Amino acid sequence: MKIGVLGTGMVGVTIATKLVQLGHHVTMGSRTPNNHAAAHWAQLNGINASQGTFADAVFYSEFVFICTKGEVTLEVVRMIGPNAFGDKVVVDVSNPLDFSRGMPPSLLICNTDSLGEHVQKALPYAKVVKTLNIVNCEVMVAPSKGGDPTMLLCGNHPDAKATVTALLKDFGWTDIVDLGDIKAARGTEMLLPVWLSLWNIVGHPHFGFRIVGR
Amino acid sequence: MKIGVLGTGMVGVTIATKLVQLGHHVTMGSRTPNNHAAAHWAQLNGINASQGTFADAVFYSEFVFICTKGEVTLEVVRMIGPNAFGDKVVVDVSNPLDFSRGMPPSLLICNTDSLGEHVQKALPYAKVVKTLNIVNCEVMVAPSKGGDPTMLLCGNHPDAKATVTALLKDFGWTDIVDLGDIKAARGTEMLLPVWLSLWNIVGHPHFGFRIVGR
């Protein structure tokens, strides 16, 4: 598939690299053409790896991963615009973390709303799936590194969730739970505070939540 | 030990019954003396089970479980008062669920604060430990019924956490993680929304979160 990855940070680079390894054609998008990190990544990852603006990454793809920092996600998707996204599948990996009050971060949106819901509202024709946001990026693309936790996903479009589930299986996920519509993003985004506490206790980020007793 | 259990609902009855089975002397407390549910419970559970007001349950105990509905927890602890609690160990099992907007409930307090922190502030001499609030009450006292998940606890007093950890082991918990001070209650209380989504999907409440990859 032709896949766009928005964001050039650790999450974007890790997911984009895994997608190229799986044989997909990946365009990494950033605010500016020839962003240093994106250009470097494209150079390292062969002919299936290219880079451009956010709009390029959406335009040249059938499927888009949002790997921006949560605090800029809505600004980025609105800048690209709902018409550019059309009815593509959009995987929102970002978390609405607020670092402005120091560590640990709190959430910018939670409880009666979620970033996932805001992304779906901003892109009304797109099929937004919230997933992968509950583990470290290295675990996202290699769940066995995190003890094979459960992956949770949600979204309003069953066909998009089926497409994303197939890709999650290619990433190595064996236990995937569909929580229902995009409102369930409230719960998965609200896992971040306990994840951050656990990171501090465990001493490394390669862990996750397995839902047991089902 | 002499243990007080505040609350006569499913959580209070389940925990109080388990404590009596473990050989503890338990006083179940409610708003009024001779509350029907508390009197019935005491009658069924033999000479180590008694009941009275909330204040009685605290007065006659070395150790108190708060098993009230989260929406009334602060009213109840303030009514009893910090002097009555003194420096006892207080286990806050309650969750700040807001059912006023219908199902699923949202949280009354979250993100930059938590019910656990409020309870500790309301009872400044007491040693508050937040735990057990992340599973169904039947799993609280029999973790194997929920697939042996991980139990998370937090609080400002290491000695209180050691006492509570010993009791959790008597309940059958084998994997217990201390998240640090009472602020970590933000994270464990914020697990409730995803727990509620999962309950809907799993179809029964006998499940839990195991932290894997450590």
Q: Is the pLDDT of residue A103 over 90?
A: no
Q: Is residue A95 part of a domain?
A: yes
Residue B47 within a domain? yes
In a domain, B211, yes or no: no
In a domain, A208, yes or no: no
Mean pLDDT on B180-186: 98
- The pLDDT of residue A101: 85
- Domain of B152 in residue numbering reads as 2-202
CB contact under 8 A, A190 and B186: no
Lowest mean pLDDT among A63-67, B33-37, B85-89: B33-37
Q: What is the Cα–Cα distance from B198 to A49, expressed in whole angstroms? A: 38
Q: What are phi and psi of A17, to 5 degrees?
A: -65, -45
Q: Sorting pLDDT into bands at 50, 70 and 90, what band is B119? A: very high
Among chain A residues, CA nearest to B146: A213
CATH number for B53: 3.40.50.720
Subunit contact B212:A149, Cβ cutoff 8 A: yes
State whether B146 and A213 contact (CB < 8 Å).
Answer: yes
Whether this model's ipTM surpasses 0.90 comes out as: yes
What's the whole-number average pLDDT of chain B? 97
**Domain annotation covers residue A116:** yes
Domain assignment present for residue B38? The answer is yes
Take residue A122 and report the two structure tokens written for it. Answer: 């901003």
- The per-residue pLDDT for range B65-97, each reduced to its tens digit, is 999 999 999 999 999 999 999 999 999 999 999
State yes or no: pLDDT of A15 exceeds 90: yes
Predicted pLDDT at A140: 98
Asked, for residue A158, whether it belongs to a domain, the answer is yes
Q: What is the mean pLDDT of residues B6-27?
A: 98
Write down the pLDDT at residue B104: 86
The CA distance from B144 to the nearest CA of chain A, in Å, is 8
Res B27: pLDDT:
98
Does the pLDDT value for residue A78 go beyond 90? yes
- Inside any domain, residue A213: no
User: Half-sphere exposure of A198 toward its Cβ, with a 13 Å CA cutoff?
Assistant: 28
Q: Do B184 and A197 touch (CB under 8 A)?
A: yes
Chain B CB contacts of A145 below 8 Å? 213
Q: Report how many helices (DSSP H) and strands (DSSP E) chain A contains, helices first.
A: 10, 11
In chain B, the residue whose alpha carbon lies closest to the alpha carbon of A144 is B213
Query: Considering only CB atoms, which chain A residues are within 8 Å of B201?
Result: 177-180
Number of domains in chain A: 1
